Amino acid sequence: MRSAGFAWAGIAHAYRTQANFRIEVWAGVLATTLALLLHAPLSPILLSCALVLGLELVNTALEAVVDLASPGLHPLAKVAKDTAAGAVLLASLGALLVGLAVLGPPLLRWLLP
Ligand SMILES: Nc1ncnc2c1ncn2[C@@H]1O[C@H](COP(=O)(O)OP(=O)(O)OP(=O)(O)O)[C@@H](O)[C@H]1O
């Protein structure tokens, strides 16, 4: 229970300080709402959201550790930050494709009956 509180503090910190995390949270809320309204499968949307948000949290954690360990510029600090950012980018592109594949057809049927 106590560790759940610490985990929630980490999520709240990311939401307060990371604009990308806020955008991803609200994109996830929008996609989930659309899936519910269009009776589209929810599992791929929820899994994609969990993957993107989870990786964004890991990216935020890694940035904090790198800044702590290497306040000055260092090539390895750059590799660590850029690679973690790359993981978030890949997951976000995957989630976008999943969203298009799952929500696109029912959305088109609704828009063009
Ligand atoms: N200590 C460092 N040494 C070398 N390059 C760094 C260092 N810190 C940051 N960089 C480079 O600058 C880029 C942006 O770093 P920054 O810490 O602002 O990350 P960010 O992705 O913009 O984070 P945030 O989402 O918090 O704004 C990194 O991806 C990396 O290429």
pLDDT tens sequence across 57-85: 999 999 999 999 999 999 999 999 999 99
Region of 49 on the Ramachandran plot (φ > 0 left; ψ -120 to 50 alpha; else beta): alpha
pLDDT of residue 6 exceeding 90, the answer is yes
87 residue type, one letter: A
Pocket test for ligand 1, best of 15, 17, 81 (most atoms within 8 A of CB): 81
DSSP state of 42: S
Share of the chain above pLDDT 70, in %: 100
ipTM over 0.95: no
Q: Which residues line ligand 1 (CB under 6 A)?
A: 18, 20, 63, 70, 73-74, 77-78, 81-82, 85
Here the tokens at position 61 are 């954690």
Provide the mean pLDDT of the chain.
97
Which domains does the chain show, CATH number per domain? Answer: 2-111 (1.10.287.3610)
Residue 57: count other Cβ atoms within 10 Å of its Cβ: 19
Count of positions (residues) in the chain: 113
Q: How much distance in Å is there from the Cα of 79 to the middle of ligand 1?
A: 10
What percent of the chain is predicted at pLDDT more than 90?
A: 97
Catalytic hit among 56, 66, 88, 92: 56
Using CA atoms, how far residue 102 sits from 14, 32, 98, in Å, is 28, 11, 6
